[in-house]
């Protein structure tokens, strides 16, 4: 747990330089924070963690070489003391729940306000967890699901499902959508969970019966 008087050391992992620059400028304006590391992907981040020793990592979900999911898994094994805040462009309930259940301290949209990002960093440093209003709603919905509500699919899930229906393999889907194979498999698992089917054949059948899904 972060001591109150210490400056919070933050690392930023994102493949967009302009985004990293913006986050750095915002955080450097805070009296209680220092940006100690920037990385364009998870591989570089993992190499820097033992050297820069951040308290909090702002981790982009989708990056080349080693994405957010893979990096989070490695961090939880090798650097469990470091708090992780996932950053994403998409408000995706299943992703949110997946990352929170796999060790992330918070899940924020990239267009979150500066105040919310600062609040999340401080809260995760102190308590290990920060829940946005959307995250709280998602957790409540998971505990009390409405069985009558049809599943909602993100645009990325629809893209993956469409390519599955076109008999594309995981490596082929990953290449076409500029994702890692592991991220594609995460989407496939989420599709199975949302649709309630057991395998790829079931996904194809589900999609064919609901052509309006596209």
**Domains of the chain, start order:** 8-142 (3.40.50.2300), 155-209 (1.10.10.10)
* Contact criterion met (CB below 8 Å) for 181 and 171: yes
pLDDT at residue 50 is higher than 70: yes
* Contact criterion met (CB below 8 Å) for 59 and 87: yes
Distances (CA, A) of 107 to 68, 132, 212: 11, 8, 30
What pTM was computed for the model?
0.67
Q: Residue 127, SS3? A: helix
pLDDT at residue 211 is higher than 90: no
* Contact criterion met (CB below 8 Å) for 76 and 105: no
- Report the pLDDT averaged over residues 105-110: 91
Bridge partners (DSSP) of residue 9 are 34
Would you state the pLDDT for residue 4?
45
Q: Which residue has the higher pLDDT, 18 or 150?
A: 18
Q: How far apart are CA 59 and CA 14, in angstroms?
A: 7
């Amino acid at each position: 747990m972060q001591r109150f008087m210490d400056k919070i050391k933050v690392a930023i992992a994102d493949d967009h330089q302009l985004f990293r620059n913006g986050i750095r400028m915002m955080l450097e304006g805070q009296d209680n924070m220092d940006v100690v590391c920037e990385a364009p992907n998870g591989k570089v981040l993992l190499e820097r963690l033992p050297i820069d020793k951040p308290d909090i990592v702002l981790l982009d979900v989708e990056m080349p070489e080693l994405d957010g999911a893979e990096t989070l898994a490695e961090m939880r094994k090798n650097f469990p003391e470091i708090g992780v805040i996932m950053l994403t462009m998409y408000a995706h309930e299943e992703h949110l729940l997946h990352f929170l259940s796999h060790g992330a301290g918070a899940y924020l949209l990239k267009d979150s306000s500066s105040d919310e990002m600062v609040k999340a960093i401080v809260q995760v440093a102190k308590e290990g967890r920060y829940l946005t209003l959307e995250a709280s709603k998602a957790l409540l919905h998971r505990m009390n699901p409405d069985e009558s509500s049809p599943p909602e699919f993100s645009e990325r899930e629809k893209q993956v499902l469409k390519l599955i229906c076109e008999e594309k393999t995981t490596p082929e889907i990953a290449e076409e959508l500029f994702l890692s194979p592991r991220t594609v498999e995460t989407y496939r698992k989420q599709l199975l969970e949302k649709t309630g089917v057991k395998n790829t054949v079931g996904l194809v059948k589900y999609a064919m019966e609901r052509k309006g899904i596209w």
